[in-house]
Amino acid sequence: MTSDPYDVIAIGAGPFNLGLAALADGLDLRVAVLDSRPEFTWHRGLMFDDAMLQVSFLADLVSLVEPAHRLSFLSYLRDSDRLYQFYVREQFHPTRREYESYLRWCAAQLDSLHFGREVTSVEWSGSVFKVVAGGEVFEARHLVLGVGTEPAVPAALADLPAERLLHSADYLYRRDELLRAGRVTVVGSGQSGAECALDLLRADGPAVSWLTRTASFAPLDYSKLVLEMTTPSYVDYFHALDEPVRDRLVKEQWRHYKGISSETLDQIHDLLYSRERSAELQCGVAVTAAVEGPDGVELTLRHTDSGRTFQHVCDVVVAATGYRNRALEFLGDSVESLVQRDAAGRWVINRDHSVGGLAKLFVSNADLHSHGVAAPDLGIGAVRNATILNAVAGREVFRLQKSTAFTSFAQPA
């Protein structure tokens, strides 16, 4: 056990807690980030060669708070002798591979990261958190939970055998298997589903079906003034709303973070136009049941507009059905006693991302219900982390912009 408590222990080393470690580097704070994995990786199962990040390079770990920081994306480009090539390329969006390479470059320079440390228990003593990880006990005055999400498979598909079903998060790990299948069905129409469908169509191997329960294969709403709803100014407005209003808005605003890039949709349409073999695209259908039969997987689909059901048969299902927050089974009752819950049983999360009244426990990217559509956006990560570190330090270590949008969201005074 360490002799002095850490100021902050962050659990989970995804991009958001990696950004916390980056911003804290050089501050007079003792920070440790614990992660069960042996090393940093990011979305390896969907790392297509030409996949683009859906946000600007400025949505790195630090730039929207400290643009001159040594761990900015531009610093990475300079260090890897790619700065002029990026300049000549004239695109603000890096490839997804390049962004992961940037994240790994940052991780290699941070001594506060501790991989191979699976957290098994967290308790609150009344003055510090006691964290058991890898058989060792750590103490911290503040705790940041950033364990991220895990693949979610709907109940209607969950009972299919493993050889008949995979989540899109594992797509590239099982791609060869899919290309040998006769009929592959992709269920779900977010960016992941679109990229899986595009790759299967390009391969020109199996017969491809692409199904979604949404009314259309909808593009991301990426217009400039709509993007202002991912800024801190909108988060301020959203957080102050009543819980039922926030819940309604989250449901209505799904296209801000669950849609498909227009470029990907254009590529799919061009490919369908040039293909000799047709593919089946069906929107407005929900999977209500799935069984393995003698002819493969039989899906029962309900057509939303007519209410009627029909059958669909394939060999393998790719469930591009999103992610859910990971269960926090390591939290003891003493930690649970610190939190409040809303009417839906979710944690009540304060504007500074703390939970409860002590301002000791913080969460990262588990606050869609309280902070709105910006929560999963990489562009809010640096600001969220700066807000947390300001709260931990008890002063404004990082100066944050007071106004970040041209749009006024609240009713005029």
Q: Are residues 189 and 291 in the same domain?
A: yes
- Torsion of Cα atoms, 183 then 259 then 377 then 158, to 10°: -40
Q: Are residues 138 and 165 in the same domain?
A: no
Confidence of residue 1 (pLDDT cuts 50, 70, 90): very low
Final residue of a domain: which of 297, 322, 347? 322
Q: Are residues 203 and 336 in the same domain?
A: no
Stretch 289-293: mean pLDDT, rounded? 97
Structure tokens at 2: 């360490």
Dist. CA 287–CA 354, nearest whole Å = 38
| Residue 11 falls inside a structural domain | yes
Domains: count for the chain: 2
| Residue 58 falls inside a structural domain | yes
Predicted structure pTM score: 0.94
Stretch 355-359: mean pLDDT, rounded? 85
CATH of the domain at 162: 3.50.50.60
Q: Are residues 130 and 273 in the same domain?
A: no
| Residue 333 falls inside a structural domain | yes
| Contact call for residues 381 and 66 (beta carbons, < 8 A) | no
Dist. CA 369–CA 163, nearest whole Å = 35
Final residue of a domain: which of 294, 322, 350? 322
Q: Are residues 144 and 158 in the same domain?
A: no
| Residue 353 falls inside a structural domain | yes
pLDDT digits (tens, 9 = 90+) for 111-167: 999 999 999 999 999 999 999 998 899 999 999 999 889 999 999 999 999 999 999
Choose the weakest-confidence range: 43-52, 61-70, 98-107: 43-52
pLDDT digits (tens, 9 = 90+) for 207-225: 999 999 999 999 998 899 9
Stretch 234-251: mean pLDDT, rounded? 97
Q: Are residues 284 and 313 in the same domain?
A: yes
| Residue 235 falls inside a structural domain | no
For residue 358, what pLDDT is reported? 81
| Residue 398 falls inside a structural domain | no
Statement: residue 170 has pLDDT above 50: yes
Stretch 194-202: mean pLDDT, rounded? 96
Q: Are residues 141 and 160 in the same domain?
A: no
Beta strand 323-325 with 129-133 is unpaired
Q: Are residues 307 and 163 in the same domain?
A: yes
For residue 278, what pLDDT is reported? 78
Final residue of a domain: which of 289, 322, 355? 322
Q: Are residues 39 and 163 in the same domain?
A: no
Q: Are residues 84 and 190 in the same domain?
A: no
For residue 131, what pLDDT is reported? 98
Q: Which residues contact 162 (CB under 8 A, 6 or more apart)?
A: none
pLDDT digits (tens, 9 = 90+) for 296-352: 999 999 999 999 999 999 999 999 999 999 999 999 999 999 999 999 999 999 999
| Residue 306 falls inside a structural domain | yes
Query: At CA 199, angle to CA 195 and CA 203, rounded to 5?
Result: 170
Statement: residue 2 has pLDDT above 60: no
Give the structural domain span for 21: 6-148+326-393
Q: Are residues 164 and 91 in the same domain?
A: no
| Residue 410 falls inside a structural domain | no
Q: Are residues 47 and 181 in the same domain?
A: no
Query: At CA 325, angle to CA 392 and CA 404, rounded to 5?
Result: 50
For residue 206, what pLDDT is reported? 94
Q: What is the mean pLDDT of the chain?
A: 95
